[in-house]
Every structure is written in C-alpha cells, then in structure tokens.
Amino acid sequence: MSLSDQHAADLSPETVVVAAGRPDRAHDEPVNPPIVLSSTYFGTGSLSDGDRGYGRYANPTWDPFEDALAKLEGATLPGLLYASGLAAVSSALSLVPAGGVVVMPSHSYAGSLVMATELADKGFLELRTVDIADTDAVKALISPEQGKKADLLWLESPTNPMLGIADITALTEAAHAAGAIVVTDNTFSTPLVQQPLKLGSDVVLHSVTKYLAGHSDVVLGALVTSNPEIRATLLHHRIIHGGIAGPFEAWLALRGLRTLALRIERSQASAATLAERLSTHPRVEAIRYPGLSTDPGHERAKVQMKGFGSILCIQIAGDHNRSGADAADQLVRALQLWLPATSLGGVESLIERRRRHTAEPLSVPENLVRLSVGIENVEDLWSDLEQALKTLDS
C-alpha cells in the first residue's frame, strides 16, 4: 500500500518528500510511478465523477505529485497540478465572483498582479493593493467602513521580491469574518518552511517551477485545499480552461521533490550566512532577509516559519560615477558563478535586478537585486559576490 494520510501525519516533512507518491507495495511493482502517455482512456457507458475519460480531465502521472504535495501541506484532499504557476493563479482568481473584491499585496509576484490588474481593468473584479506587512491597513481594505467587503484575500509571505512578512493567522481570521476566501502563495517558503493551511488559509498556491521541482527544467503550478467545494470549482476551471500539466513534466517535478528537504536545508543555511556578510558591506545600501534580527519581518517570521527561506534582496549603493541601478547592473555582469537569470529555487544560485522587468511594480527600487541562493559551496558563492562588489570601486 502507498503512504496513507495518517502515516504521513506521523512522519516529518523531510521523510514525506521521499516516501509520498510511491506506487502500492506489491511484488515486482516499480518503486517510482510510471509516465502515462495517453490522451484518452477506455470506457463505455456514461462518465461519472472520478472517471478519467479524457486527458484534459486527468492523468495517472499527475496523481503521485498531487498526493505528495497535499500531504506536505497538510491538506485532506489531493492537490491540483497546472501547466504553470500563472495557470494556477488564473484558476485561483476564478474563485472571485463577478465584480467581487480582491485584496492583494502591492509587491506580489508581478504575474499575479498583472493578471489581477487586467481583470480589474475589464471590470471583472475590483483590485485593492496594500502593504501586506501592515496588518491594520490590510484589515481596513478587507472590511472598509464604506464600500464592499473583500471576496478574496491574496497573501504572499514572504512577498516577491521585497520579502515582506504577513501575519497570516490574523489576516485569515479577518478575511473569514468578512466572508472572504484566502489564497496564499507559498512558493518562496515551500511546505517545509511554512504551511498556510494550518495558519487558516483556504487555498495554497505554488509555482512548482521553483523549489518543488527544483532544477530549473520544468514549468508547472499547483493549488492545494482541504475544502471540497473550492477544490471542485478549481478542478472545473482547470478542465474547462485547459491549463493542464504534461505527464513528463509532472514526473520530473516529483523526482525533483524527492531532494527538496536537502536543498532547502543547504540553501537556507547559505542564505543566512550571505545575508549576515552582505548586511555590513559598504556597497550594500539596504538588505531584506527575514532571518536577520534587524529585518522588519523577523519576529513575525520566527512565529509562522520554520527557517527563513533562501531568498534575499539587496540594494546596491550608487556613487558619483553611476546610479544605484547602474551599479546593480555592473554587479550582476561581474559575477562568474552566480547566474544572471530570472526565476528562483533551483540548485544553482540566480541573481537579477528586478526592475529590468517592465511589469515589476514601480515601488520596487531600481537598484534592488534579488538573490536566489542555491546549493553550491557558500564560500564560493561569497567569493564571487565579494569580487563583483569590488569592481564597483574601480
């Protein structure tokens, strides 16, 4: 038999990432699930709920990953795998009724903000953005003294890229009191660092492309919930809108998930070391990392996170020769080990100046550089950063 929900609840997450989603234990059965390549399934008579029927409805290759992710997030229902993180975002936003109100962090992932903004511009919803770390301000937008209450609260914690920390428990309580659904993007933290369902969220979103798959070789998204009605709505949206995962990508994501605990352990430790060193560097104008005792979100992160993640952001100081943005660009160009590329959560360390993306909110500083710490030797990563920072003095 495969790993049961009860057995998974008795195991540490570091064990669940390895044990969940395995085939049933039977003589000569494989230890890894197979890849099923089929667009349709044999059947006669009427289709009923749960029948596979057609490749847009289901694929056996999705099931092991969806089961494993649900166990990691503490959900009582299987997760839902999507073609991309934004396909999952689209499905989650479909929970908003026509003309409904969405409250979203002003520094959310740019794709989520762009999608919500475009829907608002077309009149499908009302979008209210806010500093998600300002609990009172968020509550005021969820239940304003005048006007409509929110229908959906969108959380990111830490936020991308500013690493703001939301009080998830307090905000979900306020949202539920107003009758709103809460969706939390848990991409940065992963379920090994934070479990939003246990903090009150209704739906958890992941860009599987990032830490869960972990090797920068697939594009996938996922949603997890324990609410049967919400899951049915999300599943219907996936079927009708066709944002389904390829079976090979699903299989790769599950293979990547097996090493998640080791990758997170290594990258978090390295991120903490690098953050401490960068915090005192004269060329670093400002730094955000929840693990620093001086970070505004540190105390809150200590309560709701198990660790502080593997992402940090720095602002590079300019001088009389160049602006901060130009200095940040020069830093990125001077690196030899860190890879200048977007995305995050892979085994390799990635770095980029975020405002090179035209969709990035204007409130993100021009000189802000986001670092996704990988699993390389931390001293090699530091040496590369140090030599690149020194080029700014020449």
**Options 71, 210, 353, 370, the catalytic residue:** 210
Ramachandran category for residue 200: left, alpha or beta (phi over 0 → left; psi -120 to 50 → alpha) = left
Which amino acid type is present at position 280? T
DSSP H helices, 74-145, are 85-93, 110-121, 135-142
Can you tell me the distance from the alpha carbon of 310 to that of 371, in angstroms, rounded to the nearest whole number?
8
Can you tell me the distance from the alpha carbon of 264 to that of 262, in angstroms, rounded to the nearest whole number?
6
Is the CB of residue 143 less than 8 Å from the CB of residue 150?
Answer: yes
Residue from 133, 153, 156, 158 nearest 141 by CA:
153
Can you tell me the distance from the alpha carbon of 25 to that of 33, in angstroms, rounded to the nearest whole number?
12
Dihedral of CA atoms 46, 48, 50, 54 in degrees, nearest 10, equals: 40
Can you tell me the distance from the alpha carbon of 265 to that of 269, in angstroms, rounded to the nearest whole number?
6
Give kind and range of the element (H or E) at residue 316: strand 311-316
DSSP H helices, 285-353, are 298-304, 324-334
**289 catalytically annotated:** no
**Options 82, 109, 211, 289, the catalytic residue:** 109
Structure tokens at 95: 């929970």
CA 256 remoteness from chain centre: 16
Place of tokens 């500093």: 131
**Options 52, 56, 149, 198, the catalytic residue:** 56
**Options 63, 67, 167, 185, the catalytic residue:** 185
- Which SS3 state, helix, strand or coil, does residue 248 take? helix
Can you tell me the distance from the alpha carbon of 246 to that of 46, in angstroms, rounded to the nearest whole number?
26
Query: Nearest 5 degrees, angle CA 353-CA 354-CA 357?
Result: 115
Can you tell me the distance from the alpha carbon of 98 to that of 261, in angstroms, rounded to the nearest whole number?
40
Structure tokens at 380: 């090699």
**277 catalytically annotated:** no
Give kind and range of the element (H or E) at residue 65: helix 62-73
Strands of 158-294, DSSP E? 181-185, 203-206, 221-225, 284-288
**149 catalytically annotated:** no
User: Is 40 buried (19+), middle (13-18) or exposed (0-12) by CB count in 10 A?
Assistant: exposed
**57 catalytically annotated:** no
**Which residues does the annotation mark as catalytic?**
56, 109, 185, 210
